[in-house]
Amino acid sequence: MTESAEPVELIRLDDGVQSVAVRVLSREGDYYDAEIVIESDFVNATVRTGFDADDIRAWGSLLDAVQGDEHDDEGTVFAGDWPQEGRTAYLTFVADDPYVVEVRDAPSTRICVRVPLDLDGDWITEARERHAAARQALGA
């Protein structure tokens, strides 16, 4: 995939009112050029990002960590960054009630948009299916 007519959606977190998605636009070697898309009644925004195959696998690991945290009774709230903070725009996923996704353009504009999402009980299953389909489509 060097340039694709249709973006490959790696992530879509959507509660029916607002959503955060990551769409892979192209691939150059081991690097994936993508965009993070926020849609809500309050703000609609897109920011470019990029990552490699390790980051794609790391999204699956973050889903594992969130699922493990849902069965943890310690009362702590799990939060994780994807892709790794510092290189490009990234997401901070906070497994709270409601779930929160912070879209951070730290290296460039330093703008952060916080999107609360009331995700249903099947969202992790749907996220895993989307992740697997994207990995297959991208050859990652």
CATH code, domain carrying 27: 3.30.2450
**How many structural domains compose the chain?**
1
In a domain, 1, yes or no: no
In a domain, 98, yes or no: yes
pTM for this entry: 0.90
Per-residue pLDDT of 51-83, as tens digits, reads 999 999 999 999 999 988 765 667 788 999 999
User: Structural domain of residue 53, as residue ranges?
Assistant: 8-138
Got the DSSP string for the chain? --S-SS-EEEEEEE-SS-EEEEEEEEEETTEEEEEEEEE-SS-EEEEEEEEEHHHHHHHHHHHHHHHHHHT--S----EEEES-TTSS-EEEEE-SSSEEEEEE-TTTT--EEEEEE---TTHHHHHHHHHHHHHHHHT-
In a domain, 2, yes or no: no
Q: Inform me whether the pLDDT recorded for 2 exceeds 60.
A: no
In a domain, 3, yes or no: no
